[in-house]
Amino acid sequence: MGELLLRMEGISKAFPGVQALKDVSLNVYAGEAMALLGENGAGKSTLMKVMTGIYTRDEGTITYGGREVAFRNSRDAAEQGISIIHQELNLIPHMKIYENIFLGREIKNGRGGLNKKAMIARTRELLDSINVSLDPEREIKGLSIAMQQMVEIAKALSLDARIIIMDEPTGALPDEEVDSLFRIVRDLKQKGKGIVYITHRLKEVFEICERATVFRDGQYIDEVPVSELDNEKLVSMMVGRKLTDQFPYVDPLDTDETILQVENLSNEYVKDISFVLKKGHILGVAGLAGAGRTELAKTIYGVYPHETGKIRLKGSDVEIRNPNDAIGKGIFYVSEDRKGDGVILGSDVKTNMTISSLSKFTSGTRINKKKENEVCEQYRKDLNVRTPSLRQLVRNLSGGNQQKVVIAKALMSEPDVLILDEPTRGIDVGAKKEIYILANRLKQEGKAILLISSEMPEVLGISDEILVMHEGRIKGTLTREEATQEKIMSIIMSQS
C-alpha cells in the first residue's frame, strides 16, 4: 500500500433543498489510482469540488501533507499540488501548448516581458517526461482529445502536482487513444503520484486502478481493493438500493393507441432509433451521461435535423423543423438544463408560463392580460407552484418551483406528447415526489410521456416501459416487470 497522501473524512455538503454529500470519506495513496464510482448524481463531482476548494464543506476534515487544509479555490489547490482534469478540458484552443501550460503564471524575463524560450523549454521537458512528442509551439486547436489530455497532465506536472484527479478521462476518447492515456496513468503512478479516477466504465477500474471507493446518493458505501472485486459486486454496490414510496406508480391507460412512433431515426448524435409511445403511458429512457438521450429528444423536437428515419404522430408522418413546429403539432420538450435553457431567469412567473402559448391569450394583436393572469393563477394552484406572486422573478424561486413553472408552460401548449428530460435534477426529495405524482396524473389524463432520467430508481419507479440507450443507440427495451437496475447496467456495460 502506498503512502497516504490525502484523507477526506466525514465530509458533508448541502445545497438548498439537497443533501449532496453526507459523511463521506476518501483516501488517496501515493503511486496508486483510486477509482471513484457511483451513479450519476451520487456526489462524485461534488466531492471533487469540495476537495479542490470550489465548494466549501459544511462538515468534515481534509488532511493533506500532514495538516488539515481548506483550499480557497481550485487555483490554490493546484498550487499546492492537487490538479483536476475536467471532462470538458479547460484549454484555450487558439493558444499554443506552452501558453496554455503557463497561463496566468508566465515566466518573465528581467524586463517584465515574457520569457518564451524558458517556457518552451520547460514545456518540452514536461512533455518528454510523460513520453509525449508534441511541439510546445503548436496550437491546441487541431490536437486530438487524447493529446489535449496529455497537455492538461503536463500542466498538472508543471505545478508539481502530487494528486491528479481525472474526471471521466475516457468519456470522449476514441478506443484507440485509451491505451496511450493508460500508459501515461501508469507512468504517473510509477512517479509516485496519487490518482483519483472517476469513470462509468467498470472494466477500466480493473485495468488501471488499485482501489475503488463507491458512493451512492451522496453517501459513502465502501473502499475496497480492486483485487477483491468483480463486475457483479461492483454493480450491486453502486445501485443496491430499494425502491420505496418515493416513486408512486399508477397503471397506464388501458389503450393501445399509439401517439408517437419513431422509426429508424439517425443523425450525427443518434443511430437507428425506433420506438413507440402510447397514449397514457410513460416510456422511460435510461442510460449514462452522454448516451445520446437528450440528443434523441432534441432530434424529435426539431432542434437537430435527422438524416434518415421517420416521426409519426397519431398515425401520420410529420416533418418537424424546429421547436415551434413541434409545439404546434403537440410535442413539448422540458429541458434537462432548467436554468440554462428551460426558464428565463430574469422574467417573472407569468411571462415564463405563457411564452409558448401566447396565441391562446391574444385577440387581434393584443395579449389579454386579464385572461393570462387567470389561467396562470389556475396553473399555479393546480401545480402548487410556491411563489408570492405571478410577478415574482423566476430567479427567486427554488429549483422545484422553477421546474413546475416549466411544466406549466408545457401544459399550457396542450401537448399530446410530453418529453421530460431529467425533470427532477437538482430539486429536493419532496418536490421530486410532487413531479412524479404530476407525471402520473398527466399519464392518466391521456398524455404520452417520454421520461429521460439518469436516476435509475426514478426511471424504474414510474415508467411503464424502459429503453436503455448507450452511445447513441437503443441497446435494449425492458418492461416494467422485468426491469431492474442490475439489468439496465448490464445492458449498458455489455458492449462497452
Minimum distance, C-beta of residue 338 to another protein, in the bound complex (Å): 9
Minimum distance, C-beta of residue 293 to another protein, in the bound complex (Å): 16
In the complex with another protein, the residue whose CB is nearer, 276 or 303, is 303
| Contacting positions for another protein (CB under 8 A) | 301, 303, 322-324, 326-328, 333, 335, 340-347, 351, 354-356, 358-359, 362, 365-367, 369, 409, 413
In the complex with another protein, the residue whose CB is nearer, 356 or 440, is 356
In the complex with another protein, the residue whose CB is nearer, 13 or 409, is 409
Q: List, in order, residues 6 or more apart from 275 with CB less than 8 Å away.
A: 261, 262, 283, 467, 474, 477
Report the candidate in 158, 157, 135, 163 with the shortest Cα–Cα distance to residue 147.
Answer: 135
CA distances from 367 to 361, 363, 439 (A): 6, 7, 30
In the complex with another protein, the residue whose CB is nearer, 11 or 418, is 418
Q: List, in order, residues 6 or more apart from 365 with CB less than 8 Å away.
A: none
Backbone angles phi, psi at 206, to 5 degrees: -70, -25
* Whole-number Å distance between alpha carbons of 421 and 435: 12
Minimum distance, C-beta of residue 322 to another protein, in the bound complex (Å): 8
In the complex with another protein, the residue whose CB is nearer, 100 or 352, is 352
In the complex with another protein, the residue whose CB is nearer, 89 or 355, is 355
DSSP string, 196-259: EEE-S-HHHHHHH-SEEEEEETTEEEEEEEGGG--HHHHHHHHH-----TTS---PPPS---EE
Report the candidate in 12, 74, 64 with the shortest Cα–Cα distance to residue 43.
Answer: 12
Minimum distance, C-beta of residue 385 to another protein, in the bound complex (Å): 17
Bridge-based pairing of strands 67-68 and 59-64 is antiparallel
* Other Cβ atoms within 10 Å of 143 Cβ, number: 18
Which segments of 4-73 does DSSP mark as H helices, in order?
44-51
* Other Cβ atoms within 10 Å of 479 Cβ, number: 10
In the complex with another protein, the residue whose CB is nearer, 90 or 359, is 359
Minimum distance, C-beta of residue 394 to another protein, in the bound complex (Å): 10
Minimum distance, C-beta of residue 325 to another protein, in the bound complex (Å): 8
Backbone angles phi, psi at 328, to 5 degrees: -60, -30
Minimum distance, C-beta of residue 441 to another protein, in the bound complex (Å): 23
